[in-house]
Amino acid sequence: MRNTLIGLLSGAAALALVASSAQAADMPSRYAPPPVYDAIPVFTWTGFYAGLNAGYGWSTGTSRYYDPAFGYVGSSSNGGFVGGGQAGYNYQMGMFVIGAEADIQYASVGNKGASYGSRYFAGNSDGYYGTLRARLGFAFDRALIFGTGGFAYGDVGGNNSSDPQLGYHRGNSTNGGWTLGGGVEYAVTNNITAKVEGSYVNLDTRGNYTVNGYQGARRDTEFGVVKAGLNYKFN
């Protein structure tokens, strides 16, 4: 009898424990839910962009005039303001960024005016140039180090000369050439980037002659540029 009573009490206790556990499972949890983390978007250089730039350019070419007795004589170079706009597209693959960019610039860096002896060759230093370039860079999150190069064109200097006594005049002309450069760019926000860039531009060499070549001028249209710019990157 005693053993039977103990067995009944043990069974009742077990049933009560099971019922209590089931009821506790149905009750709301007292523990806070696990925190939810929103992943911070990773910046990418991929996309179209457009912007403005300004800087300084200096001629690395010369203005030399031909004299039968002395050959090419005289030399001059100018420097001045450079500014304009650019637009392009970047595509990022891991750390590598490839792209293309076109720009158009006002440039006061030419050799359009000089003199030799009694001959006066009139002109000014105002001009323009543009480029169509490929870009290749390495991205370190929001920082980009890049090199660039491609086709250049423009009328920067060395193409305008006249002789009042001989009545000779050569007007402005657009020349083709090439350019190489590089720089650094930083994404200030997801849409605004700032850059500093240096480049060398060569727009061919022109020779101007008068009276069967006895009097003439040779100008090397070459110049360097350092400029800063801002771009707006479209999403």
SS3 labels along the chain = CHHHHHHHHHHHHHHHHHHHHHHHHHCCCCCCCCCCCCCCCCCCCCEEEEEEEEEEEEECCCEEEEECCCEEECCCCCEEEEEEEEEEEEEEECCEEEEEEEEEEEECCCCCCEEECCEEECCCCCEEEEEEEEEEEEEECCEEEEEEEEEEEEECCCCCEEECCCCEEECCCCEEEEEEEEEEEEECCCCEEEEEEEEEEEEEEEEEEECCCCEEEEEEEEEEEEEEEEEEECC
**Could you tell me the domains of the chain?**
47-233 (2.40.160.20)
For the chain (length 235 residues), average pLDDT per consecutive 10? Answer: 52 53 53 64 91 92 55 60 97 97 90 45 70 97 97 75 47 80 97 97 66 52 92 94
Q: Which pLDDT score is estimated for 49?
A: 98
Report yes or no: 134 and 173 within 8 Å, Cβ to Cβ. no
The pLDDT assigned to 183 comes to 97
pTM comes to 0.69
The reported pLDDT for the residue numbered 145 is 98
Give residue 102's pLDDT.
98
